[in-house]
Structures are given as C-alpha cells and as structure tokens.
Amino acid sequence: MTKQSPPVYKLQEIMNASDAEIVAQCREGDTNAFAELVRRNQDSVFNLVWSMTGNWHEAADIAQETFIRAFRKLHSYKPEFSFRNWVMSIGANLTRNRFRSFSRRRRMQETLTRMQDADVAPAPGLPDEGLEAALGQMPETLRTALLLKHVEGQSYEEIARTLGIGLSAAKMRVARGRDELVHLLTTERERES
C-alpha cells in the first residue's frame, strides 16, 4: 500500500501560491483552495465595508456575501489584475447597493419613531482610540478613500476603480481626508492638553 502525502504539503503549496494561481486551482474545481483566498483578503474587504457602513454586524454580513459573489464570479476574474482589488470592488458595489435600502429604512424609522442616528459599533481590539474617534467623525467617502490609500496602499487609479469614481475625485477625497483627519487629531490633542 502506498503512503499518501500528508495534507500539510498540499496546504503549504497553496500558502505559497499567488492569488492568481489559487484562482486557477479553484476554477479547476478545488473549492477548498478558495479558503486561502478568503483568509488572505478578508481583513482588507472587511475594513473597507466596515468603513463604508459604520456597522460591524452589517459589515460582517456584506463581507461574507462579497466572497460568495466573488467565488461565483471567478470565471470573470482577470489574472492580470490584483485579486484583492477585484474582490474589494465587489464589496464596495455590494455595500452601495445594500446602503440604498439601509438608508431608506433609516429615513423611515427616523420619521416614524424619531430615533437618533445609529451609533457606530466600536471595533474590538483597536488600541488607538483617538484615531478611531477621529475616523468615526469623518464623512464616509473621505474615510474610505483614506483607508484605501494609507492602509491598503492602493494607487489613485485603483481607488477610483474600487469605488467606481473618477481619478480626480479619488485624489480629491484622499487629500481632503488627510486634511480632515489631521485637523481632527490635532484639535483633539489641543483640547486634551
């Protein structure tokens, strides 16, 4: 009886493979390989969606749906582009669509019950409270563009593609986002001292 290779070798191969190689493997029917793509990119997708919605639970739902959609649309992924940017643009689209009904619901609830705006759910495990507070006060569009630039390291072209906006709009949002963030952090520091 021949001894089979332990599964860890296969896992190692997947871990060393590029995103595009794993996509090719998934297309050949290896569904399990997709888990590695999720693990590699889940923080980026979740961070983007959370930034756009400001709601932790909603972001978890949308991030999950984003990867399910990505898996079903793998045939349309072009390996010359970054898989991460591709899946993040799916997440941004989904969030925008979900946000439309979310806003409708919010407007209706506000009218009928005079409820206050939803609080942004705190992100567990983030030590820089001052930074989180400042980000929470920023307009969503500026915050999201800023995170794509300075956390994800995307170029302005990639930001424009992810968010479905023009190049100049992407540059403007990042610049205004920087100004706003620095202003908020400086004001807070001056208030504390």
Partner 1 sequence: MKQDYHKRFHERLDGETIPPDATDAEEEARLTAYRAELGRLENRRVRAPADLAARVMEAITPAPRPTFLEWLWTLVPTRRQWAIPALAGAVLMLALLPVLRQRSALSGPPRMLVHFQIHAPGAERVELVGDFNNWTAGTIQLQGPDASGHWTTDVELPEGRYEYQFLVNGTTWVTDPGAEIRRPDGFGRENAVRVVYEERS
Which CB atom, from 12 or from 186, has the smaller least distance to partner 1?
186
Angle between helices 156-163 and 140-150 (to 10 degrees): 140
Alpha carbons 9 and 182: distance in angstroms, whole number = 48
Alpha-carbon Rg of the chain, whole angstroms? 20
How far is 183 from 66, CA to CA, in rounded Å?
A: 34
- Which x/- pattern over 106-125 shows residues binding partner 1 (rule: CB under 8 A)? x-xx--xx-x--xx---x-x
Helix (H) or strand (E) holding 145: helix 140-150
In the complex with partner 1, the residue whose CB is nearer, 165 or 175, is 175
Residues 6+ apart with CB under 8 A from 145: 159, 163, 170, 173, 174, 177
The verdict on 73 binding partner 1 (CB under 8 A) reads no
**Site for partner 1 (CB under 8 A): which residue of 57, 75, 78, 191?**
57
SS3 content of the chain, % helix, strand, coil (to 5): 75, 0, 25
> One symbol per residue from 23 to 52: x for binding partner 1 (CB under 8 A), - otherwise; what is it?
--------xx-xx--xx--xx-xxx--x--
Task: Please report how close the Cβ of residue 80 comes to partner 1 at its closest, in angstroms.
Answer: 24
Does 140 help bind partner 1 (rule: CB under 8 A)? Answer: no
Q: Which residues bind partner 1 (CB under 8 A)?
A: 31-32, 34-35, 38-39, 42-43, 45-47, 50, 55, 57-58, 60, 63-64, 67-68, 71-72, 101-102, 104-106, 108-109, 112-113, 115, 118-119, 123, 125-126, 128, 131, 146-147, 150-151, 171, 174-175, 178, 181-182, 185-186
